[in-house]
């Protein structure tokens, strides 16, 4: 009887695990931790807008359909971001001025969590002491101290990351963000007071569940969470090409300081 | 300034006396997965200049006594360089000493070598070929009088695109000349403080022939005993490192010498630029500190100031 019970419990557990998409045979590093090494990319519209959104005109109408905003169901748990009233007005202001003000257009580092779901790949490399993340956009770089306890010594674009393994989930606490980054192209944002708690959980060899909780009482009425799968790029050479975006932002940032009568070298600086 | 230089000289002398005692301690350190361990944060500065003073001929090493004297002068020069002539362009730059950005205010590796360059034997970079000189002159002619027209006319460093202290071959220069190395199974990541992380696979794969041009080139690596060997090619035509073409190839060899020191050796080949391959070697010394984020583009007030200064100058010339 007890044997039948045990088998039933095991079957139930397997069922439950399967229902969540969790496989038992995850790739593992030598120290037994799940091996997240590889190149990953989000495949959704979170970079356009974290909240649910229908399609929309491109920010410059001449760009036409190929640069229109595609629709998305959103990645925010519960649907909307719990802004304080004044902060929501600030977000709306960002949206109005997105053509000039979005840091992405200036080739600025995306910060956390935005860098994770920008439409560009990023590479994770890990050993027992450090997890390193290298992002294609703006060649942003993060060193995550495994079991690190150090406080952020100063504010920065990519913040200060201390990570730890919670079972098979890699949990990263990010502080020391400078508050100058946005969360998406719709102008959603958090301040420099934000604490971001990220959770990375392998669902299988090629899927990495990403979750980020944003805790910032100066902007939001409560902590809130985004969640999405990341997909492994399974190309033979898992490295990505460099994308130096500086040349493409120069005219936007410095064009007003150009010598009158000269023109931007459109095409000349491209790779 | 003089006091700092004297103190630095004493520290150099003390460290030189102690260094041999510590050598060998961690020479054979390995990662958890068995590769030689070259990870850490390192300073690129060293007492040896890039090129050897012609008066030393083929003399490759100083005696310790000669080195002490040489290093003292070199460190003093570095600090004296902070004293600029009023009204010159250098004087407008912030004081390297004031903001701890001078070459020798960080960690400076001791180096008995008379130059970083060891190949050719005279310790000097071979002269540019006639073709390379012609390229350089043609480029200068197209830029002449237009140097301040727009951001695209400025140097790659001013544009936050590339730094000599981070692109292969890595050479100490300016400030923040530090790098960090991480290792994970199958990869070595080399990140210059100011530059882009180079993710180098360690499986010995060959560089393909059809590389797309990259500002930093494309690198592959392999372990040769205790030494990590990196081959880099496929540079962007505008990378033009010291006037080289996109055909430049770089071989780097990184070896741990002791707990605090790596040896960094490099060879550069580009027949369209130099008649012979050339290269050098210098030590990388542990910083004993973390590297912090260097946000160049995000804080590039320099570019705006350079261009607006040029516009102001033009207005004043037009309306004296």
ipTM of model:
0.88
Q: Is the per-residue pLDDT at B251 higher than 50? A: yes
Q: Is residue B92 part of a domain?
A: yes
Q: Is residue A243 part of a domain?
A: yes
3-state secondary structure of B101: coil
**Residue A141 backbone phi and psi in degrees, to 5:** -145, 135
Category of B182 on φ-ψ map: left (φ > 0), alpha (ψ -120 to 50) or beta: beta
Residues in B closer than 8 angstroms to A241, CB to CB, are 212, 214
Q: Is the per-residue pLDDT at B7 higher than 50? A: no
What parts of chain A have a pLDDT lower than 50?
1, 5, 7, 9-19, 21-23, 269-271
Structure tokens that stand for A128 in this block: 């027992």
Q: Is residue B264 part of a domain?
A: yes
Q: Is residue B307 part of a domain?
A: no
Q: Is residue B175 part of a domain?
A: yes
Q: Is residue A205 part of a domain?
A: yes
Whether A201 contacts A225, CB under 8 Å: no
Quote the domain boundaries for residue B157. Answer: 2-299
**B214-223 contacts: CB < 8 A, separation 24 or more?**
B214/A241, B214/A242, B214/A271, B215/A242, B215/A244, B215/A271, B215/B156, B215/B161, B215/B162, B215/B167, B215/B239, B216/A242, B216/B162, B216/B166, B216/B167, B216/B168, B217/B167, B217/B168, B217/B248, B217/B250, B219/B168, B221/B188, B223/B35, B223/B36
pLDDT digits (tens, 9 = 90+) for B41-89: 999 989 899 999 999 999 999 999 999 999 888 777 655 555 556 665 5
Q: Is the per-residue pLDDT at B2 higher than 60? A: no
Q: Which of A130, A139, A262 sits opposite B150 (nearest CB)?
A: A262
Which residue in the block uniquely carries the two structure tokens 């919670």? A166
Q: Does B146 touch chain A (CB under 8 A)?
A: yes
- Give the CA angle between residues A70, A75, A78 to the nearest 5°: 125
Q: Is residue A212 part of a domain?
A: yes
pLDDT digits (tens, 9 = 90+) for B186-243: 999 999 998 899 999 998 889 988 999 999 999 999 999 999 999 999 999 999 999 9
Q: Is residue B309 part of a domain?
A: no
Residue among B213, B127, B230 nearest B162 (CA): B213
Q: Is residue A17 part of a domain?
A: no
pLDDT digits (tens, 9 = 90+) for B127-166: 999 999 999 999 999 999 999 999 999 999 999 999 877 8
Q: Is residue B56 part of a domain?
A: yes
Q: Is residue A228 part of a domain?
A: yes
- The residue in chain B having the minimum alpha-carbon distance to the alpha carbon of residue A271 is B213
Q: Which of A103, A125, A246 sits opposite B187 (nearest CB)?
A: A125
Angle between helices B301-318 and A246-254 (to 10 degrees): 50
pLDDT value at position B107? 78
The residues with which B85 forms a beta bridge, in sequence order, are: none
Under the banding of pLDDT at 50, 70 and 90, the label for residue B109 is: confident
pLDDT value at position B75? 74
Q: Is residue B319 part of a domain?
A: no
Residues in A closer than 8 angstroms to B146, CB to CB, are 262
pLDDT value at position B36? 97
Query: Exposure pattern of B278-288 as b/e (b: 16+ CB <10 Å)?
Result: bbbbbbbbbbe
Q: Is residue A173 part of a domain?
A: yes
Q: Is the per-residue pLDDT at B17 higher than 50? A: no
pLDDT value at position B85? 61
Substitution target in B152, B207, B312 with the highest count of A β-carbons within 10 Å is B152
DSSP B319: -
Q: Is residue B314 part of a domain?
A: no
Residues in B closer than 8 angstroms to A258, CB to CB, are 149-151, 307
Work out the minimum CA distance from A178 to partner chain B, whole angstroms: 12
Q: Is residue A134 part of a domain?
A: yes
Which residue in the block uniquely carries the two structure tokens 């102008």? A187
Residues in B closer than 8 angstroms to A31, CB to CB, are 32
pLDDT value at position A185? 98
Q: Which of B32, B161, B189 sits opposite A246 (nearest CB)?
A: B161
**Residue A210 backbone phi and psi in degrees, to 5:** -115, 135
Quote the domain boundaries for residue A67. Answer: 28-257
Q: Which of A139, A247, A249 sits opposite B197 (nearest CB)?
A: A139
Angle between helices B2-22 and B64-80 (to 10 degrees): 140
Q: Does B99 touch chain A (CB under 8 A)?
A: no
Q: Is residue A271 part of a domain?
A: no
pLDDT value at position A13? 47
Which residue in the block uniquely carries the two structure tokens 């045979």? A25
**Alpha helix (H) ranges present in chain A?**
2-19, 85-96, 98-101, 114-117, 246-254
Q: How many domains does chain A have?
A: 1
Give the domain CATH number at A139: 2.40.128.20
Structure tokens that stand for A42 in this block: 């989000």
Greatest Cα pair distance in chain B: 70
């Amino acid at each position: 009887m007890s044997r039948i019970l045990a088998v039933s419990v095991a079957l139930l557990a397997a069922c439950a695990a399967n229902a969540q998409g969790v496989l038992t045979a995850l790739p593992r590093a030598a120290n037994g931790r799940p091996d997240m090494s590889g190149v990953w990319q989000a495949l959704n519209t979170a970079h356009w807008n974290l909240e649910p959104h229908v399609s929309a005109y491109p920010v410059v109408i001449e760009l036409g359909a190929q640069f229109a905003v595609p629709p998305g169901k959103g990645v925010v748990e519960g649907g909307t971001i719990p802004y304080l009233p004044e902060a929501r007005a600030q977000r709306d202001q960002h949206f109005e001025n997105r053509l000039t003000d979005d840091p992405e257009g200036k080739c600025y580092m995306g910060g956390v969590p935005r860098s994770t779901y920008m439409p560009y790949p990023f590479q994770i490399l890990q050993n027992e002491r450090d997890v390193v993340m290298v992002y294609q956009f703006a060649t942003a770089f993060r060193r995550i101290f495994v079991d690190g306890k150090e406080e952020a010594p100063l504010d920065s674009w990519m913040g200060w990351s201390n990570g730890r393994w919670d079972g098979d989930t890699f949990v990263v606490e990010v502080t020391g963000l400078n508050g100058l980054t946005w969360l998406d192209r719709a102008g959603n944002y958090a301040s420099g007071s934000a604490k971001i708690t990220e959770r990375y959980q392998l669902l299988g060899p090629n899927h990495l569940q990403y979750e980020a909780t944003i805790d910032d009482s100066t902007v939001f009425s409560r902590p809130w969470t985004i969640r999405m799968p990341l997909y492994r790029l399974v190309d033979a050479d898992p490295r990505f090409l460099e994308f130096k975006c500086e040349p493409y932002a120069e005219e936007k940032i410095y064009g007003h300081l150009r010598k009158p009568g000269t023109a931007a070298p459109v095409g000349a600086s491209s790779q | 300034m003089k006091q700092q230089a004297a103190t630095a000289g004493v520290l150099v002398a003390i460290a030189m006396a102690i260094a041999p005692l510590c050598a060998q301690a961690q020479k054979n350190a390995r990662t958890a997965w068995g590769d030689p361990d070259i990870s850490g944060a390192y300073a690129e500065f060293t007492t040896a200049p890039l090129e050897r003073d012609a008066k030393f001929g083929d003399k490759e090493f100083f005696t310790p006594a000669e080195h002490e004297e040489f290093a003292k002068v070199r460190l003093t020069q570095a600090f004296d360089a902070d004293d600029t002539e009023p009204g010159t362009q250098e004087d407008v730059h912030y004081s390297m000493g004031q903001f701890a950005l001078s070459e020798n205010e960080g960690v400076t590796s001791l180096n008995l070598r008379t130059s970083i360059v060891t190949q050719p034997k005279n310790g000097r970079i071979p002269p540019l070929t006639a073709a390379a000189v012609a390229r350089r002159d043609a480029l200068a002619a197209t830029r002449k009088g237009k140097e301040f027209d727009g951001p695209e006319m400025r140097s790659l460093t001013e544009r936050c695109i590339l730094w000599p202290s981070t692109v292969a071959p890595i050479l100490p220069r300016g400030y923040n000349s530090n790098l960090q190395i991480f290792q994970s199974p199958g990869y070595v990541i080399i990140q210059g403080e100011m530059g882009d992380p180079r993710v180098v696979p360690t499986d010995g794969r060959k560089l393909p022939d059809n590389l797309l041009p990259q500002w930093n080139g494309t690198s592959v690596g392999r372990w040769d005993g205790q030494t990590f060997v990196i081959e880099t090619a496929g540079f962007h035509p505008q990378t033009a490192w010291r006037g080289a073409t996109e055909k430049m190839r770089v071989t780097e060899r990184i070896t741990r010498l002791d707990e605090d020191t790596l040896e960094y050796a490099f060879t550069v080949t580009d027949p369209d630029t130099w008649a012979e391959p050339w290269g050098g070697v210098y030590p990388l010394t542990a910083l004993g500190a973390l590297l912090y984020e260097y946000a160049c583009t995000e804080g590039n007030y320099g570019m705006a100031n350079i261009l607006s200064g040029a516009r102001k100058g033009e207005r004043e010339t037009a309306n004296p």
